[in-house]
Amino acid sequence: MIMDGNGRWAKRRFLPRVAGHKRGVDAVRDVVRASVDFGVEYLTLFAFSSENWRRPPDEVSFLMQLFVRALEQEVTKLHENEIRLRVIGDLSPLDAGLVRLIEEGERLTQSNTRLTLTVAANYGGRWDILQAMNRLARAHPERAGRYTEEDLAPLLAMSYAPEPDLFVRTGGEQRISNFLLWQLAYTELYFTDTLWPDFDTKAYLAAIQSFRQRERRYGRTSEQLVADDVAAVPVGRG
Ligand code: IPE
Ligand code: IPE
Ligand code: MG
């Protein structure tokens, strides 16, 4: 999910942008809870993109503080609810204290299986593909020029998760903004004008209803799907 529209939510109420980010955290709590109720196994939230450093320094530091506070207040609750926390992105420019909280939260919740909640922080889809490519090239220089998708995929930041079924972007913009580029190849895309702080259980259900009406053909024809019942065959495998 691309959680977009916090700033506009605040602006409509004549509040500072950061008030929208604060309310955005409440929406995160609701969406995590609803995901557990719906039986969603993987929920991935775009919290801060590699491009968001371009925002005013005050807003950037507010977002970082909000992340710190959310980790401090929520990790125990995540653990109690059997939720596994993962954070993806380039953590090297983040404050040491924040990185420590992330690592502690991941360690505490690592064996939980009910829901995997991934937070993308200082994440960029291009960064992800490049870091995987560079690691692959270093590990196997002898195979340069012959790398396959199966070589690269395990080195991507979300290799622990299946490729996403559904992408949701709130806030009305219809773009990917450098989110999971590789992984979204065959994901169903859903865009809603609802601003992130207003994205409640009802809005979430509407996204899932839309997803349920999609026919996932993976390059085949409709007729083939009916005949062979192959809709569940993963991309690129036959
Ligand atoms: C998304 O809301 C939150 C982050 C990018 C951190 P925005 O802050 O982008 O809200 P708008 O798009 O300005 O309304
Ligand atoms: C995308 O939202 C990133 C996050 C929600 C974290 P932005 O609001 O930063 O995206 P653009 O700049 O409008 O594409
Ligand atoms: Mg935005």
1 falls within a domain? no
Atom of ligand 1 nearest to the CA of 48: 6
Say whether pLDDT at 230 is over 70.
Answer: no
Q: For the chain, how big is the Rg over CA atoms in Å? A: 19
Mutate to test the pocket of ligand 1, among 1, 2, 8 (most ligand atoms within 8 A of CB): 8
40 falls within a domain? yes
Are the beta carbons of 166 and 208 closer than 8 angstroms? yes
Pick the range with the lowest mean pLDDT from 54-58, 118-122, 206-210, 225-229: 225-229
Are the beta carbons of 128 and 156 closer than 8 angstroms? yes
Element holding 86 (H helix, E strand):
strand 83-88
> Region 227-235: what's the mean pLDDT?
65
237 falls within a domain? no
Tokens of 192: 């809603």
> Region 170-191: what's the mean pLDDT?
98
Checking phi first, is residue 178 left (phi over 0); if not, alpha (psi -120 to 50) or beta?
left
Total domain count for the chain?
Answer: 1
Q: What single DSSP character describes residue 235?
A: T
Q: What is the pTM of this model?
A: 0.95
117 falls within a domain? yes
Give the CATH number for residue 192. 3.40.1180.10
Say whether pLDDT at 1 is over 90.
Answer: yes
- Alpha-carbon gap, residue 133 to 130, rounded angstroms: 5
11 falls within a domain? yes
162 falls within a domain? yes
Q: What is the pLDDT of residues 128-156, one digit of tens each?
A: 999 999 999 999 999 999 999 999 999 99
Annotation marks residue 52 as catalytic: yes
Percentage with pLDDT > 70 across the chain: 96
Domain that holds residue 164: 6-232
Q: What is the pLDDT of residues 68-115, one digit of tens each?
A: 999 999 999 999 999 999 999 999 999 999 999 999 999 999 999 999
Q: Which pLDDT score is estimated for 232?
A: 55
> Region 2-31: what's the mean pLDDT?
98
78 falls within a domain? yes
238 falls within a domain? no
Annotation marks residue 200 as catalytic: no
Q: Which pLDDT score is estimated for 233?
A: 56
Quote the mean pLDDT of the chain: 96
Mutate to test the pocket of ligand 1, among 1, 3, 6, 53 (most ligand atoms within 8 A of CB): 6
b/e code 217-226 from CB counts within 10 Å (16+ = b): ebeeeeeebe
pLDDT confidence tier of residue 237, bands split at 50, 70 and 90: very low
For residue 200, report the phi and psi dihedrals to the nearest 5 degrees.
Answer: -105, -175
Q: Which pLDDT score is estimated for 228?
A: 81
